[in-house]
Structure 1
């Protein structure tokens, strides 16, 4: 029955292969249950609540993708968007994390609506490719910078703003050791290198006295608190009251591009594309949008399709059965909160993951047309301003404003899609007249 439901023979795979693929994907992405609560707790969100919300969103999105789209593509809270939530939306403004979760919920609902209409495809086609690549690279630099700053590898300076930290600090030394271990594991193509790198760093921290762990490693998960932001009506009301339109749009825009790009990439790797089209794309996109909405209800940032799914595909995963395995393993992970809490207390354990994931995202730099000024400079502006302003939304806004201006000056105004012009006006109003 399982074989027929997931069409194992049609996809030239077996039950055993799918099990191994699911385990592989889980090991490569399980770091998120440690990193996500660490980042969002910096915004004031309760660590335990974010831990459970991360697992709930991952399980729901991954199950939806597996059962309804039959793809081996896992869903979980996205790196970059969690940093934007913590350090820009909450950390850089006057709103609480509960209000910010309401904004995530609204963006998720809008994503559900867009996933059910042709507008999503038109939006993706309208945004210039070079701006998309710039957004990805900018987020990568932003994440890596956060990892460097949290551990003291980079510290504040009164003149130069930032400077190299104390290399004799135990935390800095542990960070460098953890980074080296993880990079070696990745160079050796070890599945789950990020996860095993964190575990190895945690063991070193324990024996060097930097990590303290007592008690049982297993604990029954507590019941999660639903509607952490109050109610759906309160979420929409807060958007209007605090003028969070740019925040919602940024969540929505980045999620759409990130999810769509990842899904297409993994589907192509698995040989599941039919020409230039992705079968069951609507259900695949709904998996992410539903997970984002539900995750926000319990307290986590927007979800995204995980590029780490490609590791499971590389070991033979071809169907949604791979996702079933991933979801079950994440459910089991909910019982290990004490271990996650202990590891999360030391930034040196999680920072190498932030730095390395940031480096992955910089791969999009190679795709930017650097020889054409009106294409390159808006992308450059996005990449430069995201880490320097600690705001993904500001980077996107400056890119969208500069792009049509340069095109008009160059006499290429016909290349600017009307939707891009609409976004340009909205971003200009937001930067010029609204608080940010």
Structure 2
């Protein structure tokens, strides 16, 4: 029955491949159940509260994506947005506690749901120029590869050059390079589950060498979640007006729109799901994120986003919602196995090779960019360059959206640009100059 629901044959996949893809995606993004509570606890939010809220938001958004959009794209609280929540919204304003800030997330989520029910975001995806779409895919590829290199400390901070080569004699670096070598060999042998097998082998090596341990055991009783910690939906809107959080709501809204849109385009192109300029069932896919964002704020987590780590599952062969059902199921189990998941996700050598390899696969989209046409190529180049350097998908998209219409106007081809691109060029320019990002 599930095979028919998810149309496995039409998408040229099978149950085994989808399950492996879901497990791979889960392993590459499981860190969020540890990292998100750590970051939001700096804003005063109880760790257990965020832990449960993170899983609830992830499961709801991911299952919506699975059953209504049938895409292998997982949804979870976004990195970067949680830091903005903790250190900019709450950390810089003594009058705004985390309860009020969650209310602002809720308000932006409601607006997000309304926009997702209209043709607006569908039109936006169609309006993005092809070269920018390819640039977004490649930029995300570089970004996640850089994350893998940075998490494993193959690349480290440098006082003069910003980044430099890490200590290759470090056990974590050596283990990461070993896992990367194993996975590359399996990829070269055209083994479909190469990334997944590489992670398992790396985990076994880590356990055998003592770098992976389960000191806190494997299971623990799940904490009881609280909800509507900002009071009520009405109170959330009242607080936004009372504390003047319009810029905060706008920032949450703008960044999540483009983080999710950019990520979905990148992963969909990688999976071959785009139909020309259109993404089928896009409205349901967009609703998955907006609903998860709204529900997540009710239970106590920062805004959600479509997760770029989904590309690791796509690289294994995931093409349908069965992949994301698997991801959601594993996150539900995480409620009971939090100590074990914390141990595995806390060792970057297991997941970093997958991120690096997937990044290289996504970079292939640069071949589709019209490099001979400077006004088409340079905006895409800005997207590719700024995503990894600013550690922000939305910022990279912003630079591309600003540069593309500007260059077309200079060349006298301003009429070829979709009106929505002009609108967001202005909005992005305003956000980069005047709002936190």
TM-score scaled by length of structure 2: 0.78
- The counterpart of 2:304, out of the listed 302, 311, 317, is 302
- Alignment-derived partner of residue 132 in structure 2: 131
Within a 5 Å distance, the mapping from 1:315-334 to structure 2 comes to: 327-334=328-335
The answer to whether the Cα contact below 8 Å between 2:260 and 2:306 also exists between their aligned partners in 1 is yes
How far did 1:380 drift? 0.9
Query: In 1, Cα distance between the equivalents of 2:231 and 2:148?
Result: 32
SS of alignment partner, residue 221 of structure 2:
coil
Please report how far the alpha carbon of residue 405 of structure 1 lies from its aligned counterpart in structure 2 after TM superposition: 1.5
Q: What residue is the counterpart of 1:429 in the other structure? A: 430
Report the CA distance shift for 1:53/1:91 in structure 2 as closer, same or farther (over 3 A): closer
SS in 1 for 2:370: coil
The equivalent of 2:369 in structure 1 is: 368
2:254 alignment partner in structure 1: 249
Q: Does 1:217 align with 2:218?
A: yes
Pair 1:358 & 2:359 matched = yes
Q: Any idea what the Cα deviations from partners look like across 1:294-344, whole Å, max 9, x if unmatched?
A: 344443652438456657977xx87x6776566445433432211111123
* CA–CA separation in structure 2 for the residues paired with 1:128 and 1:212: 48
Cα distance in 1 for residues equivalent to 2:313 and 2:158: 40
Q: Could you say what the CA RMSD is over the residues aligned between the two structures, in angstroms?
A: 4.0
CA separation of 1:42 and 1:138: change in aligned 2, threshold 3 A: farther
Specify every segment of 5 or more residues in structure 2 that has no aligned partner in the other structure, as ranges: 92-96
CA 252–228 in structure 1, closer or farther in 2 if over 3 Å, else same? farther
Residue 141 (structure 1) shift = 2.0
CA distance in structure 2 between the partners assigned to 1:185 and 1:106 by the alignment: 47
Shift of 1:251: 1.5
d(CA) in 1 for partners of 2:330, 2:383: 37
Distance apart, 1:241 and its partner CA? 5.6
* Distance in 1 (alpha carbons) for counterparts of 2:414 and 2:425: 13
Distance 1:267 1:302 in 2: 24
Distance change (3 Å), C-alpha of 1:257 and 1:427: closer
Q: Which residue pairs with 2:419 in the alignment?
A: 418
Q: 1:108 offset after TM fit, Å? A: 4.1
Q: Judging changes above 3 Å, is the alpha-carbon distance between structure 1 residues 134 and 76 closer, same or farther for their aligned structure 2 residues?
A: same
Residue 249 (structure 1) shift: 1.0
Paired residues of 1:106 and 1:248 also in contact (CA < 8 A): no
CA distance in 1, matches of 2:327, 2:166: 39
User: CA 1:75–1:220 in 2, change beyond 3 Å: closer, same or farther?
Assistant: farther
Distance in 1, matches of 2:108 and 2:265, equals 16
Correspondence list, 1:36-435, <5 A: 36-40=32-36, 43-45=39-41, 52-68=52-68, 71=70, 73-77=71-75, 82-85=78-81, 89=84, 93=88, 95=90, 105-106=106-107, 108-190=109-191, 193-214=194-215, 216-227=217-228, 234=236, 237=240, 240=245, 243=248, 245-259=250-264, 262=267, 268=273, 281-298=282-299, 299=301, 301-304=303-306, 306-307=310-311, 327-435=328-436
Q: 1:61 to 1:390 in 2, by over 3 A?
A: closer
Deviations 1:190-214 (A, max 9, x none): 5554444334333323332333323
1:122 CA displacement: 1.6
Compared CA separation, residues 67 and 128, structure 1 to 2 (3 A): closer
Measure how far apart 1:49 and its partner are. Answer: 5.4
- Offset of 1:166 from its aligned partner? 1.4
Contact 2:104 / 2:248 at 8 angstroms: preserved in 1? no
**Corresponding residue of 2:19:** 23
Distance 1:407-1:267 versus aligned 2 partners, 3 A rule: closer
Q: Secondary structure at the match of 2:39?
A: coil
Judging changes above 3 Å, is the alpha-carbon distance between structure 1 residues 324 and 42 closer, same or farther for their aligned structure 2 residues?
closer
| Structure 1 residue 376 displacement after superposition | 0.9
8 Å contact from structure 2 (residues 196, 316) kept in 1? no
- 3-state SS of the aligned residue for 1:162? strand
* Superposition deviation, residue 368 in structure 1: 1.7
Q: 1:370 to 1:42 in 2, by over 3 A?
A: farther
Closer, same or farther in 2 for the Cα pair 1:153/1:278, shift >3 Å? closer
Q: CA deviation at 1:434?
A: 3.7
- Runs of 5+ consecutive residues of structure 1 not aligned to the other structure: none
Verify the 8 A CA contact 1:31 1:194 in the aligned structure 2.
no
Could you say if the C-alpha distance between residues 111 and 429 of structure 1 is closer, same or farther in structure 2, counting changes exceeding 3 Å? closer
Give the Cα–Cα distance (whole angstroms) in 2 for the partners of residues 435 and 292 of structure 1: 20
Question: Structure 2 CA distance, aligned partners of 1:195 and 1:54?
Answer: 24
Change in 2 beyond 3 A, CA 1:297/1:176: farther
Aligned length: 418
